[in-house]
A and B are shown apart, each in its own frame.
Chain A
Amino acid sequence: MRVAGKGLYDQSRRIGFSFDGKPMSGIEGDTLASALLASGVRLMGRSFKYHRPRGVLTAGSEEPNALVTIGQGAQAEPNVRATVQELFAGLNAQSQNRWPSLRADLLSVNDLAAPFFSAGFYYKTFMWPRAFWERVYEPIIRRAAGLGALSGRHNEDHYEKAFAFCDVLVIGGGPSGLMAALTAARSGADVILADEDQRFGGRLLAETEEVDGQPGAEWAASMVRELEGMDNVRLMPRTTVTGAYDQGTYGALERVGLHRPREAHLPLECFWRIVARRAILCAGALERPIAFPNNDRPGIMMAGAVRAYLNRWGVAPGQRVAVFGNNDDAHRTARDLAAAGVTVAAVIDSRAEPGVSGDFPTYSGAQVVATRGRQGLTGLTVRHSGGTVDIGADCLAMSGGWNPSLHLTCHMNGRPDWSESLHTFVPRAGAIPGLVAAGACNGTFSTSACLSEAIAATKAAVSELGFKPAAIKAPRADGAAYRIEPLWAVEGKGRKWIDFQNDVHVKDVLLAAQENFRSVEHMKRYTTQGMATDQGKSSNVVALAVLADATGRGIPQTGTTTFRPPYSPVSIAAMGAGAQGKGFAPERFTTSDQASRDRAAPMIEAGLWYRPSYFPRPGEATWREACDREVTMVREAVGVCDVSTLGKIDIQGPGAAQLLDFVYTNTFSTLPVGKVRYGLMLREDGHVMDDGTTARLGEQHFVMTTTTAAAGLVMRHLDFVLQVLRPDLDVRIISVTEQWAQFGVAGPQAREVINSLIDAPVDHATMPYMACAPVQVGGVGGRLFRISFSGEHAYELAVPARYGESLYRLLVAQAEALGGGPYGMEALNVLRIEKGHITHAEIHGRTTAFDIGFDRMVSRKKDCVGQTSAARPGLIGPEREQLVGLRSVTPADKLTAGAHLFAGGEAAVRANDQGYVTSVCWSPTLGSNIGLAFLRNGRARHGERVRLVDHLRRIETVCEVCDPVFVDPEGGRLRG
């Protein structure tokens, strides 16, 4: 019910929305919860375990009950707290965890079976038979459990991440936070003020108290106006600081598009990484419930929430409201309600001598011992010194006291301290380097003291940063002391709920204690107390107190649970924002990319690069046909392939040759200028890191190539060697991978193609195998290398990348004129397997130079990385699995990579494993399936037969072991 003239918003500005398909209306400034309450809706959801009818408990992000689904289809967002969701025109909300409807929910039979569902029910019940765990029990439990459901569809919504930096981050924009922000800003610091609410002011928006002689909300608004006018202040409303991390980094979730209709490009949320030199935590406090019998009926709410709905949104949550508390806030609530014309049915104060009173029935030393009303509160029973009395009420406001919101101070392993005077935990100073708590979150509960504390804390912080603190005085404000006598649980029959969201009640905690789960961490996991999405914000301290009582210990001796980030739920989409599509993996395109796509080549990913798989021609039905043709084309005519993705590192300096001698197993200092050499690089543990060719362009100038996959790794390794292991070497390195577009031209006609495009033709004398030379291509300076991956007469021609596309098209045209053409990755792979050339399929991190048959390449005349380890026993010898070739005995029989090898009649089990297959292909050149494999003592076993077994694909093939070089083992073709 809206109370005319009450609240901070204009009640004439109506907004239409729907709840469970029913059209309703609220006003601008409403949350979904305030709008529903104003429309008389008390039942907002069903509980997690027992499907009990639940109404809204709080007015903030700590809400455990009023969880709804917003939106439809792929855009549906489950488990949205109605207390946080701002109303906008067309908002579509549905209740959840009920079937068929919120009022008649069939699974509420769980509630009738409640005696069986005590803590540990699942652990005790679903123990056997073991075979039922995954096939029977889990599906049943999963169907019954859970809150809202995901759509299961791809989410097209846009989320964002961002970075921000400031001198002072103020967390929370209530009276303390506003005061802290103004103090820091006037002192000249760069300030970020973040608050989870849409509007700054905190409790001042919910109370009737005055600050500086004005209503609290007006004072807050005037503070915001001043802060808005300052260049060094960034105000971040709707932003929850969710975590405190190392070196002054804070995570914060901003609601950007959740309070308005969807718009193109507008993110729903932004996840901020805020780096602050100092932080002032002004997160306020959260009110805690009292555990009395059936304290969960719709209509039973926190007293502070009742005041918030009344004073901020002008909504009376009931027509006859009773108030139950153990502190003065109960009376404050009654006073506000009475002043607004709402009937106060009774004030029930557990204290014998409250010391305050008002113009309403008051019971001192009294407790609520029973409540009535299945789908909403209708009445309650009060036990007081004179007996019991039944009171009719449709709303009960409760206050068990306040817990400082100290969560962030625990995020780096800090533990809070128990305050015997406040009966709550307070933060420990210094728990987060650079962060200080001020105000209610620090256990300072009067507004006046909050303001003073915020100023003092901020002045100290800005002084540490070298700013001169501004002269600023705390405005006049309410200075009333916080008076509380602890009351956690009320004696009486019926379930007394503690954790509303996970349906944990007092008896569950007692049962945990009885079954010896006495540690708070064990109790929590046994009962699921505090493990729901609200993380026990309202309930943890009550549960702890009940456990302490049951185990005969004090609360500080019982301990506290650890608060971890995030403070309130953060959607995975927001955390992963920026990491989809190109943000997840940048796309790297070669200069020939468009030319390949023009020929309808399917592109495959090679790391971040895109490379053509094959070039289909009319009449070719499968990739294999295209691949076979391309292989034969290279072997018989000429093929062109973009090899620019290989890493290229420019190495210059007086120590350049020594560096290469140190990182490669073989010697490069002897390489003549104008020559290229293949090199093998080891890790320090003796295993192969990478391989590639390096060309000597000048006495002190080399260009090294790496494999596509290891380009970054090798660069890092070279930097490590130069900066750490060999700082004596004067060498400079820089990547030139992107400077040069480089194309392989391979096949008997390769020289014709090259000579048709370079300005001065080459011949065998000027350009023998493994030579390199600068060339001119149409007047553009390039580099020509006579190297071969395919085993054919081949070259690689490099030009500056801007000319890459142009050169590629020319090379392909020239090749086609000679019966050749482009070839893709599939053909490249077949060509190199036929030639026995290794890739990272073979040098996968567990193979040594010995394994691949290159141990003679490990020079003993000089030290190099990995040399000592490579000679270690166990890394050399017949017990090693060594590189071999495999040919299926029946040519059409398949070989599969990943399959294992076994001797003739031995069972295909691990104990008999002789090795494994790394690369396979159909060789059109040999007319057979072939492969590369690692076989125990393989080099001595050429000619033997082994059995290839692939358990996954159910393939068995008898293979003959052979030399890994299938084609032209003498190398006549590539030298010719």
Chain B
Amino acid sequence: MANLIATPPFGDTLPVTVGATTITERPIERAASVAPFAGRAKAVSAALKQAIGLGLTGPGEWAAKGEASVIWFGRDTWLVIGAEVPESLQADAAVTDQSDAWACLRIDGPQAEAALARLVPLDLRAAAFGTGRTARSLIGHMSASITRAGGQGYDLMVMRSMARTLAHEVAEALQSVAARGA
């Protein structure tokens, strides 16, 4: 019988530390997209809340409880990370395994926001993108999910095949910012 071994998406490109800012992999053990069918969002939210303690969030918002988080992921779609989506939800929502579809890294530290401003066309100021906020946007030419993880940290997700490009681009932006000095 075959014995399959898991390979993480970033290879040897991470971690990267520049000054007090770090870029590290955020391994995703389990993730699924949840897209409620027409008129079923409330029911899905309630069922999810009962199962994992988190309901569906508003557009551009995310929430976490323990290991589990629910991230708004686009039109009518949420990503549930770190918790099993109950099978009963499948009557009311399209539930699709996304555990291996995305690569996630965290950039955290005093120069994280400045580095991201080199790559992301989003208003990252705290008033516009504070704690609890998430966005679907672009990192360079890569479609991405960008989440304010709290404090100075951001979680960045791109399609798994682009993981190494993501690590390279974020590291380069960070080094570029750091080279300016104080």
The answer to whether A163 touches B122 (Cβ under 8 A) is yes
Q: Which of A589, A654, A799 has the most CB of B within 10 A?
A: A589
| Contact A264 to B102, CB < 8 A, known contacts A162-B118, A757-B2 | no
Contact: B96 with A738, CB < 8 Å?
no
**Do B164 and A589 touch (CB < 8 A)?**
yes
Residue ID in chain B nearest A166 by CB atoms: B125
Majority secondary structure of chain A interface residues (helix, strand, loop or mixed)? mixed
Contact B120 A163 (CB under 8 A): yes
B5 within 8 A of A: yes
With contacts A163-B121, A738-B102, A800-B99 taken as known, whether A587 is within 8 angstroms of B162 at the C-beta atoms is yes
A938 interfacial contact with B, CB 8 Å: no
Q: A590-B161, A732-B94 are in contact. Are A266 and B169 (CB under 8 A)?
A: no
- Does B140 sit at the interface, judged by CB under 8 A? yes
B4 touches A586 (CB 8 A): no
Which residue of chain A lies nearest to B167 when distances are taken between CB atoms in the complex?
A582
Q: Verify B4–A806 contact, CB threshold 8 A.
A: yes
Q: Is there contact, CB below 8 Å, between A256 and B180?
A: yes
Nearest-neighbour CB distance to chain B for A232, whole angstroms, equals 10
Known pairs A578-B140, A589-B164, A801-B160; A266 contacts B94 (CB<8 A): no
Q: Is the CB of A801 within 8 A of B165?
A: no
Which of B33-41, B51-59, B61-69, B147-155 faces chain A?
A: B33-41
Flag A640-666 by CB within 8 Å of B: 1 or 0 each. 000000000010111000000000000
Bound Cα distance A586, B175 (Å): 19
Interface residue A267 (Cβ < 8 Å from any Cβ of B): yes
Q: How large is the interface on B (under 10, 10 to 19, 20 to 34, 35 or more residues)?
A: 35 or more
Q: Which A residue sits closest to B123, measured CB to CB?
A: A165
Q: Are the C-beta atoms of A732 and B93 separated by less than 8 Å?
A: yes
For residue B176, CB closer than 8 A to chain A, the reply is: yes
Binary per-residue interface labels of chain A (702-722) against chain B in the complex, 1 for a CB within 8 Å, 0 otherwise = 000000000000000000000
A525 contacts partner chain B, Cβ-Cβ < 8 Å: no
How far does the Cβ of B24 sit from chain A's closest Cβ, in whole Å?
A: 18
Please, which residue of chain B has its CB at the minimum distance from the CB of A810? B2
Q: Considering the chains assembled together, what is the distance between the CA atoms of A778 and B175 in angstroms?
A: 43
- Please tell me if the beta carbons of B6 and A777 are within 8 angstroms of each other in the complex: no
Q: Is A564 an interface residue (CB 8 A)?
A: no
Contact in complex: A583, B169 (CB < 8 Å): yes
A266, A589, A738, A810: most-surrounded residue (chain B CB, <10 A): A738
Min C-beta distance of A185 to chain B, whole Å: 15
Given A266-B180, A582-B168, A777-B2: A738 and B101 within 8 A (CB)? yes
CA distance A261 to B37 in the complex (A): 60
Q: Is B83 an interface residue (CB 8 A)?
A: no
Contact: A265 with B37, CB < 8 Å? no
Distance between A204 CB and nearest chain B CB, rounded to angstroms = 27
Asked if B14 lies at the interface with its beta carbon under 8 angstroms from chain A, I say no
| C-alpha spacing A650/B90, complex, angstroms | 14
Complex interface residues of chain A between 181 and 227 (CB less than 8 A to chain B): 190
Interface code B20-36, partner A: CB below 8 Å = 1, 0 otherwise? 00000000000001010
Q: Is the CB of B77 within 8 A of A589?
A: no
- Contact pick for A275, options B2, B3, B77, B123, CB 8 Å: B123
- Return the CB mask of A244-276 against B: 1 if under 8 Å, else 0: 000000000000100000011111000001010
A588 touching B159, Cβ below 8 Å:
yes
| A735: chain B residues within 8 A (beta carbon) | 101
A429 at the interface (CB under 8 A from B): no
Query: Contact: B165 with A582, CB < 8 Å?
Result: yes
Complex interface: chain A residues within 8 A of B121 (CB): 163, 273
Q: Which of A164, A578, A653 contacts B119 (CB 8 A)?
A: A578
Measured between alpha carbons, how far is A161 from B100 in the docked complex, in Å? 31
Contact of A799 among B4, B165, B176 (CB under 8 A): B4
Q: Is the CB of B142 within 8 A of A586?
A: yes
Task: Give chain B nearest CB distance to A767 CB in angstroms.
Answer: 17
Given A265-B179, A778-B4, A802-B6: A739 in contact with B100 (beta carbons within 8 A): yes
| Chain A residues positioned under 8 Å from B124 (CB to CB) | 165
23 chain-A/chain-B pairs, Cβ below 8 angstroms:
A160-B173, A162-B117, A163-B121, A265-B175, A582-B165, A583-B169, A586-B141, A588-B165, A591-B7, A652-B35, A652-B96, A736-B101, A738-B102, A739-B101, A757-B2, A779-B4, A800-B99, A802-B6, A802-B7, A806-B3, A806-B7, A807-B4, A810-B4
Q: Which 5 A-B pairs have the closest CB atoms?
A: A732-B94, A652-B94, A732-B35, A778-B2, A801-B100
Enumerate chain B interface residues (CB-CB to A < 8 A).
Answer: 1-9, 33, 35, 37-38, 76-77, 93-94, 96-102, 117-125, 128, 140-142, 158-162, 164-166, 168-169, 172-173, 175-176, 178-180
Q: A591-B7, A653-B94, A807-B2 are in contact. List 12 more A-B contacts (CB 8 A).
A: A160-B118, A162-B117, A165-B123, A265-B175, A582-B165, A586-B165, A588-B165, A734-B98, A757-B2, A778-B1, A799-B4, A800-B97
